[in-house]
Amino acid sequence: MLQLPPRSVRASNPSPAPADPGWASINRGVLICDECCSVHRSLGRHISIVKHLRHSPWPSPLLQMVHTLASNGANSIWEHSLLDPAQVQSGRRKANPQDKVHPTKSEFIRAKYQMLAFVHKLPCRDDDGVTAKDLSKQLHSSVRTGNLETCLRLLSLGAQPSFFHPEKGTTPLHVAAKAGQILQAELLVVYGADPGAPDVNGRTPIDYARQATQHELADRLVECQYELTDRLAFYLCGRKPDHKNGHYIIPQMADSNRLFEELAMDVYDEVDRRENDAVWLTTQNHSTLVTERSAVPFLPVNPEYSATRNQGRQKLARFNAREFATLIIDILSEAKRRQQGKSLGSPTDTIDYPVRSQSDPDDQHDYDSVASDEDTDQEPLRSAARNNRARSMDSSELSDGPITLQEYLEVKKALAEVEDEAVYSTHIPASGYRTSKLDRHGSGTDSDYDNTQAGEALLSMDGKRFLDLGKDDDFHAELEALDGELDPGLPSTEDVILKTEQVTKNIQELLRAAQEFKHDSFVPCSEKIHSAVTEMASLFPKKPALETVRSSLRLLNASAYRLQSECRKTMPPEPGAPVDYQLLTQQVIQCAYDIAKAAKQLVTITTREKKQ
């Protein structure tokens, strides 16, 4: 058995709870004040699940679990190395109540809960898999007791809540259910344990609880099993199903079937964000905490998800109340149809909100999981699309979502090989995250998920400023009125490829700086890219006849300007002002991708036109 630190170390000098905590972080087992909550919410639910102690609805066992953890020193789990006299880290200290939220408290909270910088470190082992297995076995044994803090510590170290014990033939949740440990069951479910998981004989934790006459626990596990659909239904119509008589409340609604599982989880997270927003605004009374800095306008980026999925999650914030309700209705309807293996149609299947009859479940999916690549004949781009199918490369969009370095390098590789390729299409249809409500009601725009200050500044420019920018940079394609004769001429393919290689080389230099955290190199790198982009654009006529050329030059110009704007954020106007380098780097990579995409489009057009 792995040895945890002695309780004397774990309990020494625990952080005092806030004097009047209004919020709780459920999966961290701590109570937090409004200031800290503003940071926790910005981390995302995959890091910290927050709920208001008085104004949010709580299942009684879940609230009891959080209070039990908080009162038994759960906070010391996340601050272990700061509390252990033998492991005090030089130069690191806890944030004080008097410190400013940004940057001091926010940086500490991120280090504590997102980076897990202060948790107990296990002794090094040659086989990490064995360590994880040992932790999970220890968790499997510990959940039969009432010591929640020990189990939370094991989970923080990497124990798997759904671990299937090869000798016992059960999961930790089976053990907790058999022992009647309802709070342990709550903790396991919060960390992802499945109440419907079968043991070696096909029995679920719910069956174990009922066999042990733990009826309250059994009923609670049923609620946990249907938590996703219950939460969506309650958000929409303020009701939850009586699980003894059925598991779903479904408003009557017809809409197309959809590739569904990821969407349901994303909408669940958006429901959580909107509910907490409502509570947040209600409880703050327009205090100084309610600032732009503490706002959470859309779901934070989850690095475990693809760029397209993160883009779709953020677009959920753009739905108005009616559109969002319609989406929830569709999810609830589809969840029941999949559970029962049939289409909805009888009057008993629908409750509340009558809208219209169900559409054919075989209708075209609106929540696309991949981007189409049928419109290109170029193999390198097909390969890039296969490696990241979720990425859309529609030339009409300024920005397709947060782009990783790997994604950019795939595009760069395709660009490098374009010289040896035959003619290929200039347009790949946009796919990814769409819903019929978004398309019908126009609640979204191109790149409407992009809520960065730079994106808003670019979109909100008045016409004169945008026009002047184009003239200064010598980019004339459609930035000034297209009066007079349009020029059908195009530069040679060789010249365009040569300039594209220069742009790519400068972008590579910028991305190396990003990889090495050399943020002071961002501005000079962006200047080089801007210069190379200017030279490339100057190859083309001032008034190109082809709409595709004008569109690509627009994208090239706007992306180069936006890159400069983002890179200048490394030099805040006020010395010592906080800079979110993680978000900044993400936006810089996104701009680099947009520039590379525009350059690719210009090479494509030139190659095609010259071969005709």
Least trusted range by pLDDT, from 59-68, 132-141, 464-473: 464-473
At 377, which amino acid appears?
D
**pLDDT the model gives residue 85:** 67
Indicate the pLDDT class of residue 86, thresholds 50, 70 and 90.
Answer: low
Q: What is the mean pLDDT of the chain?
A: 75
Q: How far apart are CA 591 and CA 20, in angstroms?
A: 44
CB 306 within 8 A of CB 266: no
Distance of CA 315 to the CA centre of its chain: 11
The CA distance from 27 to 47, in Å, is 8
Report the amino acid identity of residue 360. Answer: D
User: Above 80 in pLDDT, residue 453?
Assistant: no
Note whether residue 539 is domain-resident.
yes
Start-end of H helices in 462-546: 463-472, 493-515, 522-537
pLDDT value, residue 87:
56
Do the domain assignments include residue 194?
Answer: no
Region at 238 (left for phi over 0; alpha for psi -120 to 50; beta for the rest): left
Q: Which helix (H) or strand (E) holds 25?
A: strand 23-25
**Alpha helices of 60-203 — where are they, by DSSP H?**
60-71, 75-78, 80-83, 106-109, 128-142, 148-157, 172-179, 182-190
Distance, CA of 143 to CA of 181 (rounded, Å): 7
Instruction: Give start and end residues of each alpha helix (H) in 299-395.
Output: 307-315, 321-340, 379-387
In a domain, 523, yes or no: yes
Higher per-residue confidence, 183 vs 463: 183
pTM of the model: 0.52
Tokens of 202: 């096909």
* Separation of first and last alpha carbons in the chain: 73
What is the rounded distance in angstroms from the CA atom of residue 77 to the CA atom of residue 11? Answer: 9
Confidence of residue 254 (pLDDT cuts 50, 70, 90): very low
Q: Is residue 522 included in any domain, yes or no?
A: yes
Within a domain: 603: yes
44-70 mean pLDDT = 96
CA 547 to chain centre: 35
Q: Which residues pair with 477 in a beta bridge?
A: none
**Tokens (6 digits) for 490:** 């195009």
Residue range 289-305: mean pLDDT, rounded: 74
Identity of the residue numbered 325: A
Q: Could you tell me the pLDDT band of residue 597, with boundaries at 50, 70 and 90?
A: confident
Q: What is the CATH number of the domain that holds 511?
A: 1.20.120.330
In whole angstroms, give the CA distance from residue 521 to residue 510: 7
Cβ proximity of 607 and 497 under 8 Å = no
Structure tokens given for 268 = 């669940």
CA distances from 241 to 103, 224, 227, 326, 334 (A): 44, 13, 11, 19, 16
- Give the span between the Cα atoms of 180 and 207, in whole angstroms: 12
Instruction: Look up the domain containing 498 and give its range.
Output: 493-611
Within a domain: residue 230?
Answer: no
* Number of folded domains that form the chain: 1
Q: What is the pLDDT of residues 464-495, one digit of tens each?
A: 332 333 333 444 434 444 556 788 889 988 88
Residue 89 burial (CB count, 10 A): 11
